[in-house]
Structures are given as structure tokens and as C-alpha cells.
């Protein structure tokens, strides 16, 4: 360990001979190598964004890839990179020694602020001191996805790669904004993630942000919890949504095949949908770039006149841009349960 640390210090000293300052979203000015070649993400959001713009720069993952990401959609020269863990959240498990041994030029954290501004600044400064590697934070939400890509493009010397990614997200977000301005009677939506269809996602949660973004109304009020909460069948009857979205295939079979759900308007009208999830959900988990294609998918499903897109072609464009994977028409249709 001492030898590895000594080598890392020498490597950092050499790279910092031509260091440049970078001011992150916390207002911290961090000295970074003039040319960044090796990066580490801090969490699922970060690793998906960084993979889409610079897969060859990744020296490891923060979390395990989904099965289909690893087996089909992601580059095979990246899928077996080491997993370093995360340093935020309930499951924080960062392996600092393994991260240091990989000798990245920078660790990039993305997402929402965790705690206060001062506490997060202290956390990242402390981590950087422990691992002897610069750590930066880029605030990232669905709404500022284009800005995030352009910032990374400049930071990593990947402007050419970043612009199509930013533009695709920008177009989706603009279409959603235009649609919301024209909707006077929103479609009502119930979204659940559990096998029984009763673990509901409330309004205001990132798990349901795409629903609200496209102009629909989540029938589950904020009072049901910050993220998800179990509801009763009686309550679902009272809400009687126009549309039911489900992320679990067992729930889809239950809702569409059980007499208990049959009298709901969404079921009677054939408006129960299984959310696409290969390699990641089009609606929520993780709250990353996968939600961009979710805007097109759900928007064109609920408001085809306001989202006049060929969803097969949009999916193919998204997978090519963000995953570097060429979908066939048939595979795109399969992923979106259209065949």
C-alpha cells in the first residue's frame, strides 16, 4: 500500500506540472491535470453520463451494471472494470484503496446536493485529501442535462462528443415544455414499482418526474411519502387514473389479468403499460440519462399529437448516442413492448 501511494503521489506531481483550475458546482476551485485521461464516477448517475461521453476514460464503475447493460448494450472492454463503490447514500461503500490503485486523474460526483453546501464541500475536500486524487461535483438534474454534457465536454476535451448528447436532451426537454404549455386537461397517471402494483410513486419524487415533465398528472399526492409508499386497493379505486404505469412484469400480469383491478378506467380502456427497462428504466432507476428517452416514450404514448415522433427511430438514436449501441427496429420494438 505504501509503495502504491508513493507511486500515485509521483504520478500526480507529474500531471500537476500543467494543472488547470476548475470551479465545480459547490464553488470549490480544484486543480486538475491539463489533460484528463482517466476518470472515476461517484454513483449511477455519474457513471451513466460519463460512459456516454467518454467510455474509454473510465477506470472503473461505482456500482454494478445491470445484466443487459453488461451482456448486450455496453462496450465489452468496459463491462469488467473494477467496482469502487459509492461515497454517498445509504449504501455508501467506497473502496478507497482500490480507487487509489487505479490512479484516475479525477473523481467526478454528479447529482443533487447532499446536505448543506458547506457539509458537502467539506466531505469532498476530505475525500480528496484521503485518496490524494482531485474530486469534483457537478450538479445534475433532468432539467439541466444539456448543460451537464457541455460542461463535461469542455472539462474532458470532448466537446465534439458532448454536443449531440446535449442536443438530444435539449430537444426532448423543449418538446416537453411546449407540450405542458398546451395541456389544459392532464392525463392522470398512477405509477407503481412493486410486484403487487401497490407500492406507489408520489408526486414530486424523482421516480415520477418524467410523468410530470411530459404534462401528465400523478394521482398519488406528495403526502404519501418522499419516494414510494404502499397504498390500498381502495385508494387506487378512489383515484381511478386514466393510465397505469408498472415497472414489474408480475404487476402488469396482475393488473391486466385480475378481476380486482378490472373495473378501473385504465384497465377497461387498455391503458396499462409496462415501463421499458433495458438496460435501465425509461422512467426512474437510476435518475440519469435513461429518463431522456422516457420523455419521448411516455409523451408519445399519452399525448401523440403533442409528441409527434417516430418512437422506434428516437429509441434507436438514443441508444446509439448514449450507449454506443445500434438497435434494430425489432429490438427497439421489443424493448418498448410494442411487439
* 207 in the same domain as 76: no
Rounded to whole angstroms, how far apart are CA atoms 95 and 172?
A: 37
* 134 in the same domain as 173: no
Q: Is residue 159 part of a domain?
A: no
* 96 in the same domain as 26: yes
Question: What's the whole-number mean pLDDT along residues 312-318?
Answer: 98
* 173 in the same domain as 123: no
Q: In this model, does residue 12 exceed pLDDT 60?
A: no
* 172 in the same domain as 87: no
Q: Is residue 157 part of a domain?
A: no
Position 250 confidence tier, pLDDT thresholds 50, 70, 90: very high
Extended beta strands in the chain, E state: 19-23, 29-33, 39-41, 106-111, 135-139, 188-192, 199-200, 217-218, 229-230, 243-246, 272-274
Q: Quote the crossing angle between the two packed helices 159-182 and 145-156, to the nearest 10°.
A: 170
CA 1 to chain centre: 35
Give residue-wise pLDDT tens across range 219-234: 999 887 656 688 999 9
CB of 188 closer than 8 Å to CB of 243: yes
**pLDDT given for residue 177 in this prediction:** 98
Q: Is residue 155 part of a domain?
A: no
What is the domain extent for residue 279? 168-335
* 133 in the same domain as 225: no
* 253 in the same domain as 128: no
**pLDDT given for residue 11 in this prediction:** 53
Q: In this model, does residue 248 exceed pLDDT 60?
A: yes
Q: Is residue 247 part of a domain?
A: yes
Q: In this model, does residue 6 exceed pLDDT 60?
A: no
Rounded to whole angstroms, how far apart are CA atoms 328 and 316?
A: 7
Give residue-wise pLDDT tens across range 91-139: 778 999 999 999 999 999 999 988 899 999 999 999 999 999 999 999 9
Q: Is residue 156 part of a domain?
A: no
**pLDDT given for residue 90 in this prediction:** 65
* 249 in the same domain as 133: no
* 330 in the same domain as 190: yes
**pLDDT given for residue 49 in this prediction:** 97
**pLDDT given for residue 5 in this prediction:** 52
**pLDDT given for residue 224 in this prediction:** 75
- Distances in whole angstroms, Cα of residue 142 to Cα of each of 41, 62, 283, 301: 18, 20, 11, 20
Q: In this model, does residue 326 exceed pLDDT 80?
A: yes
Q: Is residue 145 part of a domain?
A: no
* 187 in the same domain as 133: no
Give residue-wise pLDDT tens across range 67-81: 999 999 999 999 999
CB of 339 closer than 8 Å to CB of 279: no
Extended beta strands in 85-206, E state: 106-111, 135-139, 188-192, 199-200
Question: What's the whole-number mean pLDDT along residues 263-275?
Answer: 98
Give residue-wise pLDDT tens across range 16-54: 557 899 999 999 999 999 999 999 999 899 999 999 999
**pLDDT given for residue 226 in this prediction:** 58
> Tell me, what CATH number does 195's domain have?
3.40.50.1980
Give residue-wise pLDDT tens across range 152-177: 999 999 999 999 999 999 999 999 99
Grid cell, residue 113, equals: 446536493
Grid cell, residue 165, equals: 448528447
- In the chain, the number of structural domains is 2
Question: What's the whole-number mean pLDDT along residues 177-191?
Answer: 97
**pLDDT given for residue 206 in this prediction:** 86
* 56 in the same domain as 105: yes
* 222 in the same domain as 128: no
Q: In this model, does residue 64 exceed pLDDT 80?
A: yes
Q: Is residue 96 part of a domain?
A: yes
Residue burial 216-227, b: 16+ Cβ < 10 Å; e: rest: bebbbeeebbee
Task: Find, among 256, 258, 252, 257, the residue nearest to 275 by Cα.
Answer: 252
Domain boundary among 98, 121, 140: 140
Q: Is residue 318 part of a domain?
A: yes
Q: What is the 3-state secondary structure (H, E, C) of 66-113?
A: CHHHHHHHCCCCCCCCCECCCCCCCCCCCCHHHHHHHCCCEEEEEECC
**pLDDT given for residue 229 in this prediction:** 80
Amino acid at each position: 500500500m505504501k509503495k502504491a501511494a508513493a507511486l500515485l503521489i509521483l504520478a500526480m506531481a507529474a500531471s500537476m506540472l500543467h494543472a488547470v483550475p476548475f470551479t465545480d458546482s459547490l464553488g470549490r476551485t480544484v486543480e486538475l491535470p491539463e489533460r484528463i485521461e482517466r476518470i472515476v464516477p461517484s454513483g449511477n448517475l455519474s457513471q451513466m453520463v460519463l460512459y456516454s461521453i467518454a467510455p474509454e476514460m473510465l477506470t472503473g464503475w461505482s456500482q454494478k451494471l445491470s445484466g443487459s447493460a453488461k451482456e448486450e448494450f455496453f462496450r465489452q472492454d468496459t463491462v469488467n472494470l473494477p467496482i469502487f463503490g459509492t461515497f454517498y447514500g445509504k449504501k455508501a461503500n467506497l473502496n478507497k484503496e482500490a480507487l487509489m490503485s487505479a490512479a484516475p486523474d479525477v473523481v467526478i460526483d454528479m447529482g443533487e446536493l447532499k446536505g448543506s453546501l458547506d457539509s458537502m464541500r467539506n466531505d469532498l475536500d476530505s475525500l480528496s485529501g484521503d485518496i490524494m486524487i482531485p474530486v469534483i461535483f457537478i450538479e445534475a438534474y433532468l432539467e439541466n442535462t444539456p448543460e451537464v454534457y457541455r460542461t463535461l465536454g469542455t472539462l474532458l476535451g470532448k466537446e465534439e462528443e458532448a454536443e449531440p448528447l446535449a442536443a438530444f436532451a435539449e430537444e426532448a426537454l423543449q418538446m416537453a415544455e411546449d407540450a405542458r404549455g398546451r395541456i389544459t386537461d392532464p392525463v392522470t397517471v398512477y405509477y407503481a414499482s412493486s410486484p403487487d402494483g401497490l407500492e406507489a410513486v408520489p408526486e414530486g419524487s424523482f421516480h415520477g418526474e418524467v410523468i410530470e415533465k411530459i404534462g401528465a398528472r400523478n394521482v398519488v399526492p406528495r403526502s404519501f411519502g418522499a419516494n414510494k409508499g404502499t397504498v390500498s386497493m381502495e385508494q387506487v379505486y378512489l383515484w381511478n387514473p386514466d393510465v397505469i404505469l408498472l415497472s414489474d412484469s408480475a404487476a402488469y400480469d396482475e393488473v391486466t389479468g385480475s378481476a380486482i383491478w378490472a373495473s378501473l378506467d385504465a384497465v377497461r380502456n387498455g391503458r396499462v403499460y409496462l415501463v421499458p427497462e433495458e438496460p435501465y428504466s425509461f422512467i426512474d432507476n437510476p435518475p440519469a440519462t435513461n429518463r431522456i428517452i422516457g420523455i419521448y416514450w411516455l409523451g408519445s404514448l399519452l399525448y401523440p399529437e403533442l409528441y409527434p415522433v417516430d418512437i422506434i427511430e428516437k429509441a434507436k438514436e438514443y441508444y446509439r448516442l448514449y450507449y454506443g449501441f445500434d438497435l434494430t427496429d425489432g429490438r427497439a420494438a421489443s424493448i418498448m413492448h410494442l411487439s
